[in-house]
Amino acid sequence: MTVNSLEALDRLHWVHPVANWAGHEKRGVTIMKSAKGAFITDSEGHELIDGFAGLWCVNVGYGHESIVEAAAAQMRELPYATGYFSFGSEPTIRLAAKLAELTPGDLNHIYFSLGGSDAIDGALRLIQFYYNVTGRPTKKAILSLERGYHGSSSTGAGVTALPAFHANFDFPAHVRHYVAAPYAYRNPTGSDDASVIAASVASLRAKVAELGADNVAAFFCEPVVGSGGVIVPPKGWLKAMADTAAELDILFLADEVITGFGRTGPMFACEAEGVVPDLMTMAKGLTSGYAPLGALAIGEKVYRGIADNAPEGGPVGHGQTYSGHPVSAAVALEVLRLYDEGGILANGQRVGAYFEKKLATLADHPLVGEVRARGLLAGIELVADKTTREKLPRSVKLADHLFARGYANGVIFRAFADDIIGLAPPLCCSESEIDLIVSRLRQTLDDML
Ligand code: PLP
């Protein structure tokens, strides 16, 4: 018998990342067909507003012909050129220069990856290389935030601090050291800004003291924790963490894979606090999902440490065939042009402020414990009891059900394990599209009562 329905072929052959395999076999696939602006249509003709920009990546929105043309033109002229050794291509060189200009401070050197996980993986390997060649080989431990997400490479998933990414996997010990997240809503020492900042700073200090500064390489964090439940830190938190890392003589890596490219307002979230990290990872909004690409921006200290101390003539043996792929680079250049000349960054800032206000109106809903947002990045934490902040009972864990209700109501968001809704609408949204997201969300919450 020949199997030819897409649903059946999918069940038989496609291993979907992060899905529960048996659950997916039962549930089957939802196939997306086309998209325009902030709307996406599935194979059954349902049109939904995409409140999550794909997987927090389609920042400029769907359907930009100019991006399609940039990719096609590059494919016609030069579909591939290696970036290995000392070869290159024009779009990738121009993109590296553009990112050096856009990133803060002395983040002037750009290593290209295919996405966020391998940008983190590149950082992990290059940090090791840096300390080994600069004569401090004991500095190995990587610290990260509780509830942080830094992708799922074999070592990077250890830096990620989400139980689902750890269960039944093994990791090297040096990447499993976690620091208190700025989770005001559930911070044991108080939810005011000063207490939240103090708790994280004290936790970072305690970790370094426990391990010994000579054994600690770096601290990685997201400026706003994303997949861990959109935990928006108080203003001043990022700066306090960066300053503490510098004082403790450990490298500071800002993972801007979600927060980069206008998601929280400025081009990069670090800018809002005048923070210049030693290293910065980015992906997602860099191409807005039109092509796979990530990057690691490297500051002068680490760059020169490696360049000046690597064994003469030998390679820095880290890289991939598709690092700096010219088609992805051409796409990214056009996406960056749209943020700027196309007015999408400015639109995201204006609509982001509107989104924050509009979303706050959901706080009166009986299921809503907290609404937290920075620009077009938001989390809504659902609780059983608004006063005691008691979590919903396990028996009514909502994730799948909530997502399905939202889908039926015509809105896509993310439903995280802890009954936290994640939102990240495209930066091209209008105010009326934000209204639509919020009203469909309220309807969905009502349906859950
Ligand atoms: N870092 C952060 C902060 C992320 O949110 C993600 C993905 O969601 C990653 C890294 C991994 O990126 P990718 O899925 O492109 O490998």
Check which CATH number belongs to the domain holding 382 and give it.
3.90.1150.10
Tens digit of each residue's pLDDT (9 = 90 or more) over 182-203: 999 999 999 999 999 999 999 9
Domain count for the chain, please give it: 2
Q: Which position has the higher pLDDT, 130 or 418?
A: 130
Is 433 a domain residue? yes
Among the listed residues 343, 283, 351, 305, the one whose alpha carbon sits nearest the alpha carbon of residue 112: 283
Site to probe by mutation for ligand 1, drawn from 154, 231, 258 as the one with most ligand atoms within 8 Å of Cβ, is: 258
How high is the pLDDT of residue 226? Answer: 98
* pTM of structure: 0.98
- pLDDT over 90 at 28, yes or no: yes
For residues 146 and 179, membership in a common domain is answered with yes
User: Is 273 within 8 Å of 235 (Cβ atoms)?
Assistant: yes
How high is the pLDDT of residue 395? Answer: 56
How high is the pLDDT of residue 397? Answer: 55
Number of other CB atoms surrounding residue 42 within 10 Å: 14
Ligand 1, atom 1, lies closest to the CA of: 150
Query: Final residue of a domain: which of 298, 318, 340?
Result: 340
For residues 123 and 167, membership in a common domain is answered with yes
Whether this model's ipTM surpasses 0.85 comes out as yes
For residues 423 and 302, membership in a common domain is answered with no
Phi, psi of 114 (to 5 degrees): -95, -15
For 393-417, b/e burial (b = at least 16 CB within 10 A) is eeeeebeeebbebbbebbbbbbbbe
Could you write out the DSSP letters of every residue in 411-439?
A: EE-EEETTTEEEE---TT--HHHHHHHHH
CATH number at residue 276: 3.40.640.10
pLDDT level of residue 93 (50, 70, 90 thresholds): very high
Among the listed residues 77, 53, 95, 88, the one whose alpha carbon sits nearest the alpha carbon of residue 335: 95
Is 269 close to ligand 1, i.e. is its CB under 6 Å away?
no
For 253-267, what is the mean pLDDT? 98
How high is the pLDDT of residue 399? Answer: 67
Tens digit of each residue's pLDDT (9 = 90 or more) over 312-367: 888 899 999 999 999 999 999 999 999 999 999 999 999 999 999 999 999 999 99
CA distance 441 to 367: 12
How high is the pLDDT of residue 314? Answer: 85
- pLDDT over 80 at 394, yes or no: no
For residues 333 and 369, membership in a common domain is answered with no
CA distance 410 to 174: 44
Q: Report CA(281)–ligand 1 centroid distance (Å).
A: 9
How high is the pLDDT of residue 258? Answer: 98
